[in-house]
Amino acid sequence: MKNIFLTFLVITSAISLADDYETAQRFKEGDTISADVLNDILDRIELALKSSTTSDLVGTWDVKWKTCINGGPGNCSSLNAGNGWSSSVDNLYRTRSDVWTITDDGDGTYSLSIANYCISGASGGAYYNDSCTGRVNVESGIFLFGTESGAGVSQDSDHTETYNIKKVSQSRFQLWQLKSGSNSFVGFTLDKQSQPPKAPKDLEINLASGKATLSWTAGDSTETGYDVQRKNSIDGNFASIGTPSAESYEDSTIAEGNSYWYRVFATNSNGTSVGSNVIQISYLNSPPSMNLSSTISVNEGVTEVVDVGATDADGDSLNYSLGSQDPSNDATNFSISSSGVISFNSAPDYENPSDYDTDNIYTINVSVSDGTETVKQDIGIVVKDIEDWVLGTHRTPW
């Protein structure tokens, strides 16, 4: 396997979609954060700190009412008018649900359409079981709504309801009003419909056989696909390299000697999520290795010397070559096969040495290359004298 250096650049969305605000993931000492992720954090902090405007509310919202129970002081009973209320919760409050749609009129004003339970303009201050439409404006933390039409509601085009408004996230807002002169209250939680999915999380990567295999966890169950993005330099730009439908992807277009940065986005028909954490990989070549002794002894008359036995952790094909140690030219006496076996070209004769300084020690070096890197080792090949049989006569060396 190639040497792999992984830098985990970890962050989740600073603002979770269609939910309460969620801070950035906590980091551990030694974690590294990329500029891309840091800018994500800063953008979302800036977005969260900006005052709400009417344009932030354009869209369709699921709305949950909350108000005091019947029998409360002041006008609590009138707040409970209409249908759809839940039973009381711990004798403190009750809830019901509605749908609001806010549209941009194109002239600097905005309209609100309420599907079931109008919040303004009802006779006697009651909140009826009726739809209505009206004008809406958000400024300086105040939500203003004035009715214009509605079935069964006594509308007053000059009447305006006023609520405090708080932005919890880009897709969740809260409105509330304490009724004057009493302890009665009414509040609304608005969750935007048709949201992009949440960001993928826990992006991991494995590098093997020249391929980077990515895997991650879905942020929620609303995604219909993913967009895997990669950049090839620290100051480069992310670009899409694949759109898988499951939580994994294999990148086979990487090359040795390069670094890559990955990030994954979830998609659905409503848009694209915030990006996942970023992971960097450096795809480095592992050089071949040899485990040869510096001195190898062979008997005279034998041609095969040694099998170099080189290995490569990456599984690359290896090429072998021989050279002479300076100042000798001893390599001319040898050959090396494609599998790394060194042999004498002619069987050596101890009594007639052909090495550079005729001492029966041949000084050569072996080089092995994987196509990217080359390793070299010096070896000395010592030819040993053995008993000779010459013309049937036994001669023992002294």
The amino acid at 185: F
Contact in structure between 261 and 279 (CB atoms under 8 Å) = yes
Among the listed ranges 108-117, 119-128, 190-199, 272-281, which one has the minimum average pLDDT value? 119-128
Looking up tokens 């009412």 gives 65
Tally of CB atoms within 10 A around 139: 12
Distance CA 287, CA 376 (A): 11
The predicted pLDDT at position 372 comes to: 86
The predicted pLDDT at position 130 comes to: 80
Over range 235-258, report the average pLDDT.
94
Contact in structure between 350 and 300 (CB atoms under 8 Å) = yes
Q: Over the stretch 151-187, which tens digit does the pLDDT of each residue have?
A: 445 544 556 789 999 988 888 999 998 876 566 888 9
CA 25 from chain centre, in angstroms, equals 13
Is residue 240's pLDDT more than 90? yes
The predicted pLDDT at position 266 comes to: 96
Q: Which two tokens stand for residue 295?
A: 């001195």
Distance CA 265, CA 271 (A): 10
Is residue 18's pLDDT more than 60? no
Residues with Cβ < 8 Å from 221, sequence gap 6 or more? none
Q: Which two tokens stand for residue 8?
A: 């985990």
Burial of 2 (0-12, 13-18, 19+ CB in 10 A): buried
Contact in structure between 172 and 192 (CB atoms under 8 Å) = yes
∠ Cα 358 362 363 (to 5°): 120
H/E element, 41:
helix 35-49
Class of domain 54-192: mainly beta
Is residue 267's pLDDT more than 50? yes
The predicted pLDDT at position 247 comes to: 97
Is residue 272's pLDDT more than 70? yes
For residue 177, what are the CA distances in angstroms to 90, 136, 332?
21, 16, 98
- Concatenated DSSP letters of 217-232: E-SSS--SEEEEEEES
In CATH terms, are 3-49+196-284 and 54-192 the same topology? no
The predicted pLDDT at position 149 comes to: 65
Looking up tokens 């039409």 gives 149
| Predicted structure pTM score | 0.60
The predicted pLDDT at position 158 comes to: 55
H/E element, 361:
strand 361-369
Distance CA 96, CA 74 (A): 21
Query: What percentage of residues in the chain have a pLDDT greater than 70?
Result: 78
Q: Which CATH number fits the domain 295-390, given the four candidates 1.10.390.10, 3.30.465.10, 3.40.1380.10, 2.60.40.60?
A: 2.60.40.60
H/E element, 390:
strand 388-390
The predicted pLDDT at position 238 comes to: 94
β-bridge pairing 295-299 and 374-384: parallel
Dihedral over alpha carbons 64, 69, 72, 76 (to 10 degrees): 40
Contact in structure between 231 and 32 (CB atoms under 8 Å) = no
Domain boundaries, the chain: 3-49+196-284, 54-192, 295-390
Q: Which CATH number fits the domain 3-49+196-284, given the four candidates 3.40.50.720, 3.40.50.300, 2.70.170.10, 2.60.40.10?
A: 2.60.40.10
